[in-house]
Amino acid sequence: MRLPLILTALILASSSATAQQLKSDLDKLDAKHGFRDVKLADTVTAIAGLQLIKDAGDVKEYKRSTDELAIGSNQLQAITYRFYRGRLAAVELLPRTFSDGHGIVGKFSEVFGTSLTTWEDEIKGELREWKGQTTRLSYLYLKPGNYTTITFSDVKLSERLPASFKPATR
C-alpha cells in the first residue's frame, strides 16, 4: 500500500519541478521579448536602419543592412522585421540551410528549454513552439521545398496579423 503512494508522490514532485523549470525558461523568453537589440511591439522609428521591403497596408516588412547574418557558426539568409499597424509583431529568421536552422534552434533550446509543442512528420517536416505570456518562438521546417524559418513574435500582435503573415503555429 505504501509503495503506490510513494511512487505517486515522486511522480507529482517530478512533474512539479519540470513545470517550474518550464515556467522559468519561458520567463526568460518573455523577459527578452525580442531578438538581439530589438523589442517586440516597438515602433518603426524606435529601430534604427530599417529598410522597407514589403508594404501590404497594415502589415509592413523591413530588413536592416547592418544585421549580422549569423548566430554562432550558423548562417542566416535573411532577417525580416514584420510590423502590424506600426508595431513590431514578429522577427523572422531564415536560416541558409536546414543544418543552420537546426543548429540555431538547438541554441535557443539551451536558453529557453524544451519546446512546448512539437509536431514531427517524416514526410512533411517539423514544428516546435515555445510560448510565454507575451512572446512566442516558433521553428518550422518543411521538407517539401526544404524551407526553414524561426520566428520570434509578440503573442497579441501576431494574432492580429492576416493569415498569410502569421508565424507558424500548431
| pLDDT per position as a tens digit, 79-118 | 999 999 999 999 999 999 999 999 999 998 888 888 876 7
CB count, 10 Å around CB of 65? Answer: 7
Cell numbers standing for residue 63: 530588413
* pLDDT of 29 above 90: no
* pLDDT of 7 above 70: no
Q: Tell me the average pLDDT across 63-89.
A: 95
Cell numbers standing for residue 160: 492580429
Answer for the pair 53, 59: CB distance below 8 angstroms, yes or no.
no
Distance of CA 10 to the CA centre of its chain: 33
Q: Tell me the average pLDDT across 114-128.
A: 81
Secondary structure of residue 147 in the 3-state scheme: strand
* pLDDT of 9 above 50: no
| pTM over 0.85, yes/no | no
CB count, 10 Å around CB of 119? Answer: 15
